[in-house]
Amino acid sequence: MRGLSGDFSTMPLKDLVVYLGNRRATGSLKVERGDVRKQLELREGHVVSASSNQPREFFGQFLINMGHLTEDQLEKAFSTQAQTRIFLGKILVMTGLVPEATVRGTLSHKFREMILDAFHWEDGDFLFEAADTAPEVAGLEVSVDLLDVHREGEFRETAWQAIHAVFPSGAVRLSVDERKLPERKPGSMDERIVQLIKEGLTIDGIALALHATDFFLYQRLYALYRLDAVKVSDEPPESEMSVVEEENGERGIIGSETSSDEVLQAAQLFLDAGNARDGEALARRAHEMSPSPRTAEFVKAAQEKLLVHLRRELADPPRVPTLQVAPGHLKTLQLSAPERYLLSRIDGRRDVAAIVHVSPLQELDALKFFAGFVDATLVKLTPR
């Protein structure tokens, strides 16, 4: 078959998936929405390889979420991968950390979740490039039928309607009635969910702590809700304000400029002066005021400069974070779910890079949070 391109406003991904599946297409499918990019390699209507720039869709995150690896084990596996250049799945099998059958099953789960997550996209673009043969897969062979994914997507449409009627947003907190919980084993998913609910985390916070994709978590919460064991708490939803946002607001860098061009000019001046943090913030502000390919490219360039700056400032050479406030005090602060997740990973042993590397957050976002912690004197960094 020939190649195909378009946008999801005219051809939703679920329709594209069934189209390619029915034709047993072979080739490469790329989908994009904003900064999110995913690529699938197809062989005769089956996904045989998939990649995403979203950390929560990385293979290691699925392994942690499903209880097959700890964060420490994943970090050690990453170190081995950096030295050997062998694919992560093969390393885990070779070292005996994860059985081959489990690696294959988790890869299959990753492929499905990557596609299904994009089924709800109402905008974005796709490009399918047909090929006579699919590229060789470097790693363990896994195959997922697109038509099976489409059937799962139809089921999830109905499931999401019921779920959202109960859990309106990820910012809500939950309450649990342990008397009505099913029997659960120590360390099981239900046990971990219950513990995180009791710690007062929001649904978003629970997802980060579990390294979980949205549907995986919400589906289990809904099952517990149907048992009358879990419900939305009467506490008000968590505020979206964060330490990082407060710090940026206090510096007054995103202010009263009258046009997007003026904000871009100010951003360029900051970047030229070596102030990547304020330059990047102004670049984002200009793009919010008047989105265009020009402002999008400017934001991308500013973010690349900021990432280099923050790596040098926070992670290279390695620096170990330690909390400068009592854990009880953190509970009184207005912190976002990602901030609470990162602060909970500080143990006085792991350095910033190690924490960020295994987190379900984009590297730049995580480093910006750490910079905010330092600015707010919540965290002190000590060279290793």
For the record, the structure tokens of 384 come out as: 């290793």
Task: Give φ, ψ of 47 to 5 degrees.
Answer: -80, 125
- CA angle 247–250–252, rounded 5-degree value: 115
- What are the sequence ranges of the domains in the chain? 4-159, 167-232, 243-383
**Could you tell me whether strands 46-52 and 144-145 are parallel, antiparallel, or unpaired per DSSP bridges?**
antiparallel
How much is the average pLDDT of 71-93?
88
pLDDT band at residue 54 using 50, 70 and 90 as cut-offs: very high
Please check the confidence at residue 342 and state whether its pLDDT lies above 70. Answer: yes
Q: What's the rounded Cα separation, in Å, for the pair 122 and 126?
A: 12
Rounded CA gap, 92 and 103, in Å? 8
Q: What's this model's pTM, rounded to 2 decimal places?
A: 0.86
For residue 357, give the amino acid letter. H
Q: Please give the backbone phi and psi of residue 335, each rounded to the nearest 5 degrees, phi first.
A: -120, 145
Cβ(290)–Cβ(262) below 8 Å: no
Look at residue 380 and give its three-state secondary structure: strand
Residue 365's pLDDT band (cuts 50, 70, 90): very high
What is the C-alpha to C-alpha distance for residues 286 and 260, in angstroms, rounded to an integer?
5
Radius of gyration from C-alpha coordinates of the chain: 22
Helices (H), the chain: 13-22, 59-65, 71-84, 88-94, 100-117, 146-166, 189-198, 203-210, 214-226, 243-251, 260-272, 276-289, 293-310, 327-330, 337-344, 352-357, 363-375
pLDDT, position 353: 95
User: Which of 210, 187, 203, 188 has the alpha carbon at shortest distance from 237?
Assistant: 203
CA distance 205 to 305: 29
Tokens linked to 50: 């998939």
Can you state the angle between helices 214-226 and 189-198, rounded to 10 degrees? Answer: 80
Q: Which helix (H) or strand (E) holds 52?
A: strand 46-52
Residue 333 has pLDDT above 90, yes or no: no
Q: Please provide the average confidence, as pLDDT, over all residues in the chain.
A: 90
The end-to-end CA distance of the chain, in Å, is 56
Q: Which pLDDT score, from 0 to 100, does residue 183 have?
A: 86
Read off the pLDDT band of 257 (50, 70, 90): very low
The answer for 124, left when phi > 0, alpha when psi is -120 to 50, beta otherwise, is left
Residue 210's pLDDT is 95
CA distance 182 to 188: 12
- CA–CA separation, 142 and 195 (whole Å): 34
pLDDT at 248 (0 to 100): 52
Band of the pLDDT at 252, cuts 50, 70, 90?
low
β-bridge mates for residue 289, sequence order = none
**How far is the C-alpha of 327 from the C-alpha of 339, rounded, in Å?**
13
